[in-house]
Structure 1
Amino acid sequence: TYPDNLRKTLESVAPRRLSKDPTIAVLTPGIYNSAYFEHAFLADQMGLELVEGSDLVVLDGHLNMKTTEGLRPVDVLYRRVDDAFLDPLTFDPTSVLGVPGLMDVYRAGNVTIVNAPGAGIADDKAIYSYIPEIIEFYMGRPPILKNVPTYNCRKPDALKYVLENMAELVVKEVHGSGGYGMLVGPASTADEIEAFRARVKARPDNYIAQPTLALSTCPTLVEDGIAPRHLDLRPFVLIGDEVRLVPGGLTRVALRKGSLVVNSSQGGGTKDTWILQD
């Protein structure tokens, strides 16, 4: 159901002037990317073309895909390439992963890029600390679900609290991902905490902190048999012409005993996610 819903969303964001059957391609960095299997799987399940930057070319203000029958216009590009590498003429000039001139086509409205360039600002963990205010500003009322308390270290009071209570908190780099650049206070040594405290003092604007959450556990098959391991559930909400909540999600599990880090890059795994329905 995830690829089906994703395809519907990709089709819904195609420019309205196009035909009802837009050409959609999945842009991947290539076979050496750690998530290449996911890129190939999604493209296969959605019946879309899987392309690399070298498979695409800009001609006469439009994005085209090279095929054995000649060039074929591309209407929607579901990109799995970071902003900086999308177009060497606009961003990183050394990039060979993107397409020269792609941003000119995008600015002209001749191709839809999903996610849109710049959407990664939401990945900045400092944004999370402002979510309640953002919701109230746009919705006119406080959020229904409370935020996890988040201390933005660029604020003096928050910085003071984090430095004094680091042993009890999870401290993260605002641009960090994959479980890197973070400190889990209760699971760290005194030396590790002191070293991280020095990093936060040097660049307070680069860090946020949150309480250590008591993640649920579930039975997990490990080398010694079956044992409890911490996990979290990541739901997917797809937004096109309407909001679609995918009936499922990604359940990530920390395979190391006692670990709260579920990221696959840190040795985490995944589990089937079952949705029960009457």
Structure 2
Amino acid sequence: MLLTPGPYNSAYYEHSFLADKLGVELVEGRDLFVRDETVFMRTTQGPKRVDVIYSRIDDDFLDPLVFRPDSLLGVPGLMLAYRAGNVSLANAVGTGVADDKAIYSYMPEIVRFYLGEEPILQNVPTWRCREPEALAYVLDHLEELVVKEVNGSGGYGMLVGPAADAETRRLFAEKLRRRPDNFIAQPTLALSTCPTFVGSGIAPRHVDLRPFVLTGADKVRIVPGGLTRVALTEGSLVVNSSQGGGTKDTWILGE
């Protein structure tokens, strides 16, 4: 099943889409409980044991008995059941380190080391600001680059250099000098645009596509569809829903 923070989360549409395509229940923390180190789902026919959970809740909110005690999103006792081996977390606690944006820059080297092959897809050029030469380059080219926090998400804590004024870039440069290890930088990509209905009528807005790839024991399957995100603010390249972005229907043309 897929564990979501609920309909007020900015990515709830994505959670709903994934649960539907995977054919699993979409649940909130209040739909689950732990008894005898085992997780159960509340149903109209009584408790139903849960074996696998795909969590879309931040680790800190997953279990108020272990992490943040003020969390109302998680399941009390979940980590106890997990440690007992009675439930599997598809994205286990701590795996978010793989989403660290600095890790992305090492992917070509990781592929070569573990597979002994050259990557098929090329990376977007990425400067790790903790490296002195990279930091110097980024500071000299802030007006051309997008700078992101390595552990950031949702479009927070980032600078889109071409869209920022001189004062904003100056303040961001100070943050870079204080904590260079906390940032990476990349070229500003030219996102596609799509006709979008806005207050003034139909106008172009930048979009990106998030496909979903499911990896199994014997094959990799691409879900027929995806999440098309649209930046509703004119000229903006930030499509994140948490920054005011929206979604569009995604049509796959095929036989």
Q: Which of 250, 258, 263 is 2:240 aligned to?
A: 263
What secondary structure sits across from 1:127 in the alignment?
Answer: helix
The structural deviation recorded for 1:116 is 2.4
Aligned partner of 1:240 in structure 2 is 216
The structural deviation recorded for 1:67 is 3.7
| Distance in 1 (alpha carbons) for counterparts of 2:16 and 2:224 | 21
Aligned partner of 2:114 in structure 1 is 138
Superposition pairs of residues 120-269 of structure 1, within 5 angstroms: 120-241=96-217, 242-269=219-246
| Distance in 2 (alpha carbons) for counterparts of 1:31 and 1:210 | 33
Aligned partner of 1:100 in structure 2 is 76
Letter in 1 for 2:133: D
| Distance in 1 (alpha carbons) for counterparts of 2:41 and 2:213 | 29
The count of corresponding residues between Structure 1 and Structure 2 is 254
Which shifted more, 188-197 or 254-263?
254-263
Letter in 2 for 1:100: P
The structural deviation recorded for 1:212 is 0.9
Aligned partner of 2:88 in structure 1 is 112
Letter in 1 for 2:30: S
| Distance in 2 (alpha carbons) for counterparts of 1:34 and 1:260 | 18
Which shifted more, 109-118 or 210-219?
109-118
The structural deviation recorded for 1:128 is 1.2
Q: Cα 1:256–1:33, aligned 2, differ >3 Å: closer, same or farther?
A: closer
The structural deviation recorded for 1:44 is 6.3
The structural deviation recorded for 1:39 is 4.3
The structural deviation recorded for 1:49 is 4.0
Letter in 2 for 1:267: G
| Distance in 2 (alpha carbons) for counterparts of 1:56 and 1:78 | 13
| Distance in 1 (alpha carbons) for counterparts of 2:227 and 2:211 | 6
Root-mean-square deviation (CA, aligned residues, Å) is: 2.2
What secondary structure sits across from 1:259 in the alignment?
Answer: coil
Is the Cα–Cα contact under 8 Å of residues 212 and 226 in structure 2 kept in the other structure?
yes
Q: Cα 1:144–1:36, aligned 2, differ >3 Å: closer, same or farther?
A: closer
What secondary structure sits across from 1:167 in the alignment?
Answer: coil
The TM-score normalised by the length of structure 2 is 0.89
| Distance in 1 (alpha carbons) for counterparts of 2:15 and 2:224 | 20
The CA deviation string for residues 55-98 of structure 1, in whole angstroms up to 9 with x for no partner, is 32222231122345443211122322111111223322332322
The structural deviation recorded for 1:50 is 4.0
Which shifted more, 219-228 or 36-45?
36-45
Superposition pairs of residues 23-42 of structure 1, within 5 angstroms: 25-36=1-12, 38-39=14-15
Matched, 1:55 2:31: yes
Q: Cα 1:39–1:250, aligned 2, differ >3 Å: closer, same or farther?
A: closer
Unaligned runs of 5+ in 1: 1-24
Q: Cα 1:95–1:222, aligned 2, differ >3 Å: closer, same or farther?
A: closer
Aligned partner of 1:66 in structure 2 is 42
Unaligned runs of 5+ in 2: none
Letter in 1 for 2:155: G
Q: Cα 1:233–1:34, aligned 2, differ >3 Å: closer, same or farther?
A: closer
The CA deviation string for residues 189-214 of structure 1, in whole angstroms up to 9 with x for no partner, is 11010000001101101111001111
Which shifted more, 38-47 or 51-60?
38-47
| Distance in 2 (alpha carbons) for counterparts of 1:42 and 1:128 | 24
Which shifted more, 134-143 or 112-121?
112-121
* RCO higher in structure (CA 8 A, sep ≥6): 1
